Amino acid sequence: MSVEEISFGPLSLDEVTESSLGWSGGAAHIEYVADAVKRSQLGETDMIAGRNSINEVICYGGADYSTEVGSAKLWMLIVREELRGQGIGTKLFEALETAALSRVDRVFLHVETHNEGAKRLYERIGYIVEKSDTESWYELDAEGERYLYEAEVFVMARAIR
């Protein structure tokens, strides 16, 4: 599949099911994505999906306008594992930044300090490390128990106009 065949547009709530997005995470994650899509209906986020020629979602990500005035936080960016490394993530960034352009001047994101591949990609696109920080969120362990995951992250940002 070539990058040109992918069409980008808003992720809709009826696509946020385990059968269509199960490749990207478990039930709790799908629920989190559904919440983000509902927030897009209130204007707090943009959730963008890339679809292949048979309309399957093969990547998605979001821009959250509620965390900092004048900025969008890009988050949850993910490309189906077997399709990574072909430029799809770069196109997903372009689609999210295009959506954010009408609302904010700056986009930023958090990347775990050990995620060197993703950090290299963001630097290539033009993001610059502003600072280090810590972030925490709930994950499920192998027994399905919820635990608080704490991560060291770089805050990376880019002016979009």
- Interface contacts to ligand COA, rule CB under 6 A: 77-79, 84-90, 111, 115, 117-118, 120-121
Give the shortest CB-61-to-ligand COA separation in angstroms.
Answer: 7
Exposure class string for 72-101: b at 16+ Cβ within 10 A, else e: bbbbbbbbbeebeeeebbebbbebbbebbe
Our CB check for ligand COA shows the closer of 37 and 59 to be: 59
Strand order of the β-sheet with 57-64 is 7-10, 45-51, 57-64, 71-79, 106-112, 146-159, 128-140
Least separation in angstroms between CB 74 and ligand COA: 8
Q: Which residue is nearest to ligand COA (CB)?
A: 89
User: What's the closest the beta carbon of residue 8 comes to ligand COA, in angstroms?
Assistant: 13
> Least distance from C-beta 57 to ligand COA, angstroms?
13
- Residue 16 or 74: the one with the smaller Cβ distance to ligand COA is 74
CB proximity list for 158: less than 8 A, separation 6 or greater: 106, 107, 108, 125, 126, 127, 128
Cβ closest to ligand COA, residue 118 vs residue 160: 118
Q: Rank residues 26 and 117 by Cβ distance to ligand COA and give the closer one.
A: 117
